[in-house]
């Protein structure tokens, strides 16, 4: 380390040269790290993407600090001028400053990270990229009750974090609590529908119920929070004089939410609305 320091001080007093060397070193570290991650197939793609984004942001911050240190003398000479134009910069770069503030807020609050599923205002999706100014998500929808990717990438400024409430759908980790809503006519046998729905949920969730229970218990011990029961439960809500809503709450693996929901709904519809034979007026009179 001492030899490196002496070599650095021995360089010509040329700030441009030092800046170029700093940037070249940062780029080299970035390239080598990306190649090293690419040669680690045993690490999940999501984890490698998270490390890559964190490294990129760390190198960017290191580069900014290094450039400020290199040009500190020049910056000191224009300190008075900087104070004079500070207000103009604040006005001109108001949105950039807000984005940086939003990024700082996200980092300090640990609001979300790569791979998390979030909802911010009317935006909803899985986070795939985070920079100091923006966040990019793969949209999930098209409505709130849908859980499929729409194929659209949405990039929003981090300044939105300062003025909107953020919802993180998968804060419990690999297992999440999911609610499935099934509307049923009051003219139908509502209690029978409830019985069929809860049985369908128990059948589908049985293979991972114990693992989900252990996961939730671990969360309680680690974060000192109360976690909901993982056993399937149904609550009834009368919407109006025609419809009653069955709200089914289940614990499911985060990556299988859509699959589990569809499996339960198919089983419910097959049992509650079985295929009916054609009526007499639909049969062939011949």
My answer on whether 179 and 260 are in the same domain is: yes
My answer on whether 140 and 184 are in the same domain is: no
pLDDT at 267 over 90: yes
Place of tokens 């998500």: 137
Q: Is 103 part of a structural domain of the chain?
A: no
pLDDT value at position 224? 63
Q: Is 70 part of a structural domain of the chain?
A: yes
My answer on whether 181 and 256 are in the same domain is: yes
Among 116, 135, 168, identify where a domain stops.
168
**74-83, 96-105, 238-247, 250-259, range with the lowest pLDDT:** 74-83
Q: Is 148 part of a structural domain of the chain?
A: yes
Among 146, 168, 190, identify where a domain stops.
168
pLDDT at 280 over 50: no
pLDDT band at 137 (very low <50, low <70, confident <90, very high): very high
Helix (H, G, I), strand (E, B) or coil at 244: strand
Q: Is 210 part of a structural domain of the chain?
A: yes
**Cβ pair 251, 177 in contact under 8 A:** yes
My answer on whether 264 and 193 are in the same domain is: yes
DSSP states of 151-218 as a string? Answer: EEEEEEEGGGGGTS-EEETTTTTTEEEEEEEEEEETTS-HHHHHHHHHHHHHHHHGGGHHHHHHHHHH
Domain of residue 125: give its range: 108-168
CATH number at residue 215: 3.30.70.100
Number of domains, the chain: 3
**93-107, 166-180, 268-282, range with the lowest pLDDT:** 268-282
pLDDT band at 282 (very low <50, low <70, confident <90, very high): very low
**Nearest alpha-carbon partner for 29 in 59, 8, 57, 51:** 59
Among 147, 168, 189, identify where a domain stops.
168
Q: Is 162 part of a structural domain of the chain?
A: yes
How far apart, in whole angstroms, are the C-alpha atoms of residue 81 and residue 180?
Answer: 61
My answer on whether 197 and 263 are in the same domain is: yes
My answer on whether 117 and 195 are in the same domain is: no
My answer on whether 156 and 198 are in the same domain is: no
CATH number at residue 127: 2.30.30.60
pLDDT value at position 234? 93
pLDDT at 286 over 50: no
Question: Mean pLDDT score of the chain, rounded to an integer?
Answer: 83
- Beta-bridge mates of residue 238: 244
My answer on whether 153 and 189 are in the same domain is: no
Q: Is 186 part of a structural domain of the chain?
A: yes
pLDDT at 49 over 50: yes
My answer on whether 135 and 52 are in the same domain is: no
My answer on whether 158 and 207 are in the same domain is: no
Structure tokens at 18: 């030092």
Model-wide pTM > 0.75: no
């Amino acid at each position: 380390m001492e030899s490196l320091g002496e070599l650095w001080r021995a360089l010509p007093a040329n700030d441009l040269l030092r800046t170029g060397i700093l940037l070249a070193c940062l780029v080299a570290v970035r390239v080598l790290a990306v190649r090293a991650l690419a040669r680690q197939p045993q690490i999940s793609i999501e984890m490698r993407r998270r490390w890559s984004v964190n490294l990129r942001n760390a190198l960017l911050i290191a580069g900014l600090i290094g450039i400020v240190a290199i040009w500190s003398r020049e910056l000191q000479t224009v300190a008075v001028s900087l104070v004079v134009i500070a207000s103009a910069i604040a006005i001109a770069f108001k949105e950039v400053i807000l984005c940086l503030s939003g990024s700082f807020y996200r980092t300090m609050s640990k609001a979300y990270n790569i791979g998390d599923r979030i909802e911010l205002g009317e935006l909803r999706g899985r986070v795939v990229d985070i920079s100091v100014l923006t966040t990019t998500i793969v949209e999930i929808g098209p409505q709130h009750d849908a859980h499929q990717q729409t194929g659209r990438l949405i990039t929003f400024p981090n300044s939105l974090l300062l003025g909107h409430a953020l919802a993180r759908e998968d804060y419990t980790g690999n297992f999440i609590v999911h609610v499935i809503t099934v509307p049923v006519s009051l003219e139908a046998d509502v209690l029978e529908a409830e019985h069929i729905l809860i049985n369908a949920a128990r059948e589908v969730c049985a293979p991972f119920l114990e693992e989900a229970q252990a996961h939730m218990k671990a969360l309680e011990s680690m974060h000192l929070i109360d976690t909901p029961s993982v056993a399937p439960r149904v609550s009834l809500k009368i919407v109006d004089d025609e419809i009653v809503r069955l709200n089914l709450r289940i614990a499911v693996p985060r990556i299988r939410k859509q699959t589990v929901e569809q499996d339960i709904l198919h089983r419910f519809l097959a049992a509650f609305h079985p295929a009916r034979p054609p009526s007499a007026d639909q049969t062939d009179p011949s």
